[in-house]
Amino acid sequence: MNSMVYKRKLPLAVFLIPAFAIMALFIYYPFIVNIINSFQKVGALGTGAVPVNDSGSMFFLDNWKFVFSDPTMRSAVLNTLKMMAVTVVFQVGIALLLALLVDNVRRGAQAYRTIYFFPIVISASALGLLFNMVFLYDTGMLNNILISLGIISKDTLIDWKSFDNAFFTMTLPVIWQYVGFYFVILATGLNNISADIYEAAAIDGATGFQRIRFITLPLLRNTIITCVTLALTGALKVFDLPWQMFPKGAPAGTTYLTGTYMYQQTFNVRNVGQGSAIAVVIVALGIAAAQITSLVLRPKDM
C-alpha cells in the first residue's frame, strides 16, 4: 500500500468529505446538541433550547430531576432491562439451539437459513399489525389455536393485552423476529469449526453432549459474545413493534420502553427537554450494557 498511487492526498479529501459531512450534520452534531439540550429547557419540537437558570445554578437540572423521579420513567427503564434480559436469553438461546441442530443435518441447511432470516427484512410496524391480529381477544389466531388444541375454551379466552400478559405479548414478537439474525451468525461460526476436531473427539470417545460442551461452545465463545452484545444494544432500539401493539404504553402506561417513552414525551407531552434527557439515558444504557458484556464475558483470543 506504499505505492505512488496514493501519495497525493487531495483526492482523499474528495472521497471522505461528502460522506462524513452528512454524518457530521445528522449524527455527530445533533448527538452533542442533544446532550446539551438535556440540561436546558426545550418546549415543543422544533423550538430552540432556552438556557434557563432561574435558580441561578449553572445547569438546568429539571429534565434530569424528572428522569430520576418520574415513576413511568422508572417502569420504562425496568421494562427495557427486562426486555434486554429476555432477548439475550431467548433470542440468542433459541438461535444457538437451532444453529446446533442445523449443524448436524445433512441436507437443507441453506433452506432453513433463508426461512429463518425472512422476518428480519419485514417492517416491524407491519409485524405489529400482524401480531395485533394474532393476539386479538375473541378472534385472534393464538386463542383460536389454543381452543382447537383444547387448552382453553370459548369461556376462558386469554386476554393477551391485559395488565398481566402485556409484557409477554409485547416481547414475544420482538424475540421471534430476530432469532434468525443470530441464527445465521452462529451457524456461520459453527461452519468454521473444523471437522477434524470433532473426529479426534469421537475417537477419544466423546459423546454428543460432551462435544458440544467442551469443543463447540468454547470455540464459539467470541461469536456468542458478539451476539449477546448485539442483542443487548438491539433491545434498546426496539420501537416500531411495541408502539404499534401497545400505543402510549397501554394499558395505563405500564408497557413503555425507554424508546417509546422518549417518543411520547417529545411528541405527545411536548416536553422536548425531557425527551432529550431520556435519549441520553438510552445511550448510557447501551454503553453500560456493552461494557458489562465485555467485562463478564471477556473475549478470548484462541
Partner 1 sequence: MEKAIRRRGTRHWGQFLLHAALILWAVTTIFPFVWVLLSSFKGTTEIMSKPFALPEVLSLFNYADALERFNIPRAYMNSLILSGSVTIVVTLLATMAAYGIARYKFRYKRGVNALLIASMMFPAFSVIIPVFRIIQKLGLIDNIFGVALPQMAGNMSFAIIIMAGYIRGMSNEVEEAAFIEGCNAFQILFRVVVPIVRPAMATVAIFTFVWSYNDLFTQLFFLRNPQSWAITRLLNEFTVSQGRPNYGLMAASVVMVVAPVLVIYILLQKNIIKGMTAGAVKG
Binding mask 165-204 for partner 1 (x = CB under 8 A): -----------x--xxx--xx--x----------------
Restricted to residues 82-101, the positions that interact with partner 1 (CB under 8 A) are 94, 98, 101
The Cα-based distances of 40 to 32, 44, 266, 270 in angstroms read 13, 13, 14, 14
Restricted to residues 57-86, the positions that interact with partner 1 (CB under 8 A) are none
State in angstroms the smallest separation of the CB of 253 from partner 1: 18
State in angstroms the smallest separation of the CB of 232 from partner 1: 12
Per CB under 8 A, does 26 bind partner 1? yes
Nearer to partner 1, 120 or 151 (CB): 120
Nearer to partner 1, 56 or 266 (CB): 266
- Return the bridge partners of 41, or none: 50
Per CB under 8 A, does 124 bind partner 1? yes
Count other Cβ atoms within 10 Å, centred on residue 170: 24
Nearer to partner 1, 45 or 269 (CB): 45
Q: Which residue in the set 83, 88, 170, 282 belongs to the binding site for partner 1 (CB under 8 A)?
A: 282
Nearer to partner 1, 7 or 298 (CB): 7
Nearer to partner 1, 84 or 279 (CB): 279
How many residues lie near partner 1 (CB under 8 A)? 102
First to last CA, the chain: 29
Question: In whole angstroms, what is the distance from residue 75 CA to residue 253 CA?
Answer: 9
Instruction: Give the H or E element holding residue 41.
Output: strand 41-42
Per CB under 8 A, does 132 bind partner 1? yes
Restricted to residues 239-258, the positions that interact with partner 1 (CB under 8 A) are 239-240, 243-244, 247, 258
State in angstroms the smallest separation of the CB of 54 from partner 1: 23
Binding mask 29-58 for partner 1 (x = CB under 8 A): xxx-xx--x----x--xx-x----------
Q: Which residue in the set 50, 78, 85, 126 belongs to the binding site for partner 1 (CB under 8 A)?
A: 126
State in angstroms the smallest separation of the CB of 243 from partner 1: 8
Restricted to residues 203-222, the positions that interact with partner 1 (CB under 8 A) are none
Q: Which residue in the set 78, 133, 200, 292 belongs to the binding site for partner 1 (CB under 8 A)?
A: 133
